[in-house]
């Protein structure tokens, strides 16, 4: 393969690769000029590291409870106090980051797998495949996503795995639509025609030409999908229909705090602050990426 120089396909793909490289370099430069996005990225990375090293950072285990220590205000021994069954609140918040990140990232992984492949199929094949996939999308969008997830959980029960599956089952829709729309516009481009004319197989056209060019908006969508999945998990757990005790979920901690909030303010304040910080930082990173990757959009 390497002995053949300068076949048209090779030249074409070289040109494309060069174009891409400068696109990514430009995007990186634009992203790092955006102070808000960079600050958000720092916070997001800190949250991810907290999630990964939760067992190292946390002063205690998330399920170690001493009933005698229940409902303490922040003090020297328990920096953020204890909850209603005497578990160290700081430790639970730290492990809560892990749960949130697990949910956010695995939901997006599943959503990419389903959404991008179905979107590729629909955009590439058209016809009845497209029709079938789009009708499925339409049915799923006839109900608000969170309601659908609630419904699924009421049927199949909560718990980490089911929560992830329930959110992912709705989460792929936007990615599917986006991929399809990208493929529909991109497949009319001249370079696709050129590739087709030299006999490139549809599969190769899809993976080598269409997908790389559709990548930028997909990356933005996935980045913004992470906080939205965390949002949904927190909401489900808040209703008591998500993560089960003793696993710590910020949403559930807020719900538990509701009965003690009159006195024990710390139980309500800290998890809500963390939810807000997470949502804001990931959203700002996503917005920053969008501005960096698509200079034509906005402004």
Partner 1 sequence: MARYLLGRVIGLIGVFIAVSIVAFLLMHSIPGGPFDEEKSPLPPAARANILRKYGLDRPLYIQYLRYMGSALHGDFGISFQNPTETVLQTIGRTWPVSLRLGGLTILIALPLGILLGIIAAVKQNTWIDYVTTFVSTLGLTVPNFVIATWLLLLFSVRLRWLPTGGWGGWKTWIMPVTALGLGPMALAARYTRSSLIEVMRADYIRTAHAKGLSGRRVIMRHALKNALIPLITILGPQVPNLVTGTIFVEVIFRVPGLGKFFVSSIYLRDYPMLMATMLLVALLWSATYLLSDILYTVVDPRVRLYGD
CB of 63 to partner 1, least distance (A): 24
Q: Which is nearer to partner 1, 113 or 147 (CB)?
A: 147
Q: Which is nearer to partner 1, 152 or 218 (CB)?
A: 152
Q: Which is nearer to partner 1, 60 or 152 (CB)?
A: 152
- The C-alpha atoms of residue 191 and residue 229 are separated, in whole angstroms, by 36
CB of 228 to partner 1, least distance (A): 9
The residues binding partner 1 (CB under 8 A) are 135, 138-139, 142-144, 146-147, 150-156, 227, 231, 234-235, 238-241, 251, 254, 257-258, 261-262, 265, 268-269, 272, 275-276, 279-280, 283, 298
Q: Which is nearer to partner 1, 115 or 242 (CB)?
A: 242
Q: Which is nearer to partner 1, 95 or 238 (CB)?
A: 238
Residue 258 CB partners (closer than 8 Å, separation 6+): 268
CB of 237 to partner 1, least distance (A): 10
CB of 77 to partner 1, least distance (A): 24
- The C-alpha atoms of residue 175 and residue 177 are separated, in whole angstroms, by 5
Q: Which is nearer to partner 1, 156 or 203 (CB)?
A: 156
Q: Which is nearer to partner 1, 153 or 175 (CB)?
A: 153
The structure tokens listed for 13 are 């793909």
CB of 272 to partner 1, least distance (A): 4
CB of 295 to partner 1, least distance (A): 16
CB of 279 to partner 1, least distance (A): 4
């Amino acid at each position: 393969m390497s002995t053949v120089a300068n076949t048209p396909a090779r030249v074409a793909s070289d040109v494309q690769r060069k174009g891409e490289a400068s696109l990514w370099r430009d995007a990186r430069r634009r992203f790092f000029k955006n102070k808000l996005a960079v600050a958000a990225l720092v916070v997001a990375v800190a949250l991810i590291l907290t999630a990964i090293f939760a067992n190292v950072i946390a002063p205690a285990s998330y399920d170690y409870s001493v009933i005698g220590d229940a409902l303490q205000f922040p003090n020297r021994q328990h920096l953020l106090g204890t909850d209603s069954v005497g578990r160290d609140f700081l430790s639970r918040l730290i492990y809560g980051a892990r749960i949130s990140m697990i949910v956010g990232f695995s939901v997006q992984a599943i959503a990419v797998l389903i959404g991008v492949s179905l979107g590729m199929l629909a955009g590439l094949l058209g016809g009845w495949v497209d029709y079938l996939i789009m009708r499925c999308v339409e049915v799923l969008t006839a109900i608000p996503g969170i309601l659908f997830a609630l419904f699924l959980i009421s049927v199949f029960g909560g718990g980490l795995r089911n929560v992830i599956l329930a959110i992912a089952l709705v989460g792929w829709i936007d990615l599917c639509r986006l991929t399809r729309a990208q493929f529909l516009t991109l497949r009319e481009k001249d370079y696709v025609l050129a590739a087709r004319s030299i006999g490139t197989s549809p599969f190769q056209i899809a993976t080598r030409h269409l997908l790389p060019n559709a990548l930028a908006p997909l990356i933005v969508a996935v980045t913004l999908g992470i906080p939205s999945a965390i949002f949904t998990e927190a909401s489900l757990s808040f209703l008591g229909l998500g993560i089960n005790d003793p696993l710590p979920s910020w949403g559930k901690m807020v719900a538990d705090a509701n009965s003690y909030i009159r006195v024990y303010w710390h139980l309500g304040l800290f998890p809500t602050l963390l939810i807000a910080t997470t949502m804001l930082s990931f959203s700002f990173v996503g917005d920053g990426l969008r501005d960096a990757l698509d200079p034509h959009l906005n402004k």
